[in-house]
Structure 1
């Protein structure tokens, strides 16, 4: 209660009661957050007793970093002025949740900037200009849009959207919220890799022959089968298993055989091994991806690329050869039994 006869107070009295400056009271009044009860004969602002509580709420909400429109929505709901009869406290709950999301993004950006600064600080002075250019080309926190564009141009045309989305989810690494300098450098290099022309001189082909030999739906079937095989191989890799025949390899071969109407046989596997070894490879992409997603100092997490190579190794073991790189298709094998490869893991 105020001491005046009409139980109203001046802007100065309200400022003293609330522990703020007159300038602050005037700002919130002019913003429409703190309505006046009336004006004196001389035109001075007058406030009702509830203005003290409202001003305290405004300061608390603003202290949490909420915007003026958000504060207005919370106050209106508290006074029963919600636009659509929203549940009590709904506006405040939504505002707090939104602010927490925003803070999470801001903190992630700060962690990436800190790691980037350490990356520059810890490298030899002669390398700093190049590191700055490399890291400076990446937004912080990083966007994976450039990686998505790379894969969309790499994938076979006319693949169903659902299949493309599933592949992108597996092929594009999720940047960690709290990276180390090594992970920042790996992501920056990954961005540089996918934004330069394909091939060392920009002219050599990136896409394997499968993209020219299979239609969109056939490619979708192939990639779905490969995804299952990679998942099985990844589980083996996490256990430290060496490449060897088994369910993962059988699924890998079946993905190719089923897509191209061939029969899984020793002859088919020999031809497949030769074709896979000959197709274009993007090893560097998968090496950098593993560095981005793996904890510093820990065992590298499997990627579609490393799983693909594990399966190629298993195929080489199955054929009794030293490895997939030294397996070639016999010239006598018919071309129809030699499906082209998408070289996902290369």
Structure 2
């Protein structure tokens, strides 16, 4: 390139509208190599350096770190589409940071709007939750709660559906609901029954895969009932629900079995509390396993109550021990 077509560092800075210090920084970083040196050892740049410098400044304006800018520039020399990977990665990182900021803002509003006597407890609750929130503890709760030796495909499917995804832009109420849910599942769940209701515990002849395969079908049917806004009622969804328990325990589906199942499910406050908090997090109108479960249990209870006057025989499957007291809300 002829010498007259070359620019000094000051001339390049003037054309680009930046300081000499900025040009020198990008040159020293390897992002803006000079074309040559003058006889006195001064840097010289060709006109193409102006476009490169403008690209560097545009990428830096997007808050890309200097190493990321260098990789993006190298890719741009080969093909423009390569920049999409850099942009997509930075968008993901930026989205995570913005979600964290929204959760922090909602948490601060929650504390601001709380009564003075509530603030200390709520501060402890939300202080134990990361931002953006992590659902690992919720998934761990379900893996601990589900029966042992359940097929991995069922465990993965159930955990995926049972763990609610926190919203990207939460309300203060949703922040509180997630904090309570996180504290709830992080609590100790001691005992050989792993905190499960009697109807889910392993026993002689118990087949957990039969139970959970049947429950998945029952939940699909109940979801259709909920979408149609039908109240809990007898029908195919309830029959499938009861059949899943009966088949897993090797018992016939009889009125006595349904009465016993209703009592055993009602004696498990832990999972019902989980569904309540999950519903507060996801908000109304969102199809969830919890909404399905509540509908099915209500349908069973309603049918048992309607048939109660005709029931005289004792329930051979009923638990002899009293139902545990409901777990306190965190």
Give the shorter-chain TM-score range: 0.7 to 0.9
CA contact (8 A) 1:156 1:215 kept: no
SS in 2 for 1:256: helix
Q: What corresponds to 2:88 in structure 1?
A: 97
Structure 1: distance between partners of 2:210 and 2:101: 42
Q: What corresponds to 1:341 in structure 2?
A: none
Q: What corresponds to 1:30 in structure 2?
A: 28
Shift of 1:94: 1.6
CA contact (8 A) 1:73 1:91 kept: no
Q: 1:69 to 1:51 in 2, by over 3 A?
A: same
Structure 2: distance between partners of 1:17 and 1:79: 22
What do the CA deviations read for 1:149-188 (whole angstroms, capped 9, x no partner)? 1111111112222211111111111111111110000000
Q: What corresponds to 1:312 in structure 2?
A: 297
TM-score (norm 2): 0.85
User: Which residue, 292, 295, 320 being the options, matches 2:281?
Assistant: 292
For structure 1, which runs of at least 5 residues remain unmatched after alignment? 81-87, 336-346
Shift of 1:192: 0.8
Q: 1:293 to 1:262 in 2, by over 3 A?
A: same
Q: What corresponds to 2:263 in structure 1?
A: 274
Q: 1:322 to 1:190 in 2, by over 3 A?
A: farther
Q: What corresponds to 1:213 in structure 2?
A: 203
Structure 2: distance between partners of 1:280 and 1:185: 20
Q: 1:276 to 1:78 in 2, by over 3 A?
A: closer
CA contact (8 A) 2:218 2:240 kept: yes
Q: What corresponds to 2:135 in structure 1?
A: 144
C-alpha RMSD over aligned residues: 2.9
CA contact (8 A) 1:9 1:47 kept: yes
67-76 or 244-253, which moves further after superposition? 67-76
Q: What corresponds to 2:75 in structure 1?
A: 77
Q: What pairs up with 1:1-346 in 2 under 5 angstroms?
A: 5-80=3-78, 88-198=79-189, 206-209=195-198, 210-213=200-203, 218-279=207-268, 281-294=270-283, 299=284, 301-321=286-306, 330-331=313-314, 333=316
For structure 2, which runs of at least 5 residues remain unmatched after alignment? 319-330
Structure 2: distance between partners of 1:160 and 1:204: 19
CA contact (8 A) 1:271 1:328 kept: no
Shift of 1:268: 3.3
CA contact (8 A) 2:35 2:44 kept: yes
Q: What corresponds to 1:85 in structure 2?
A: none
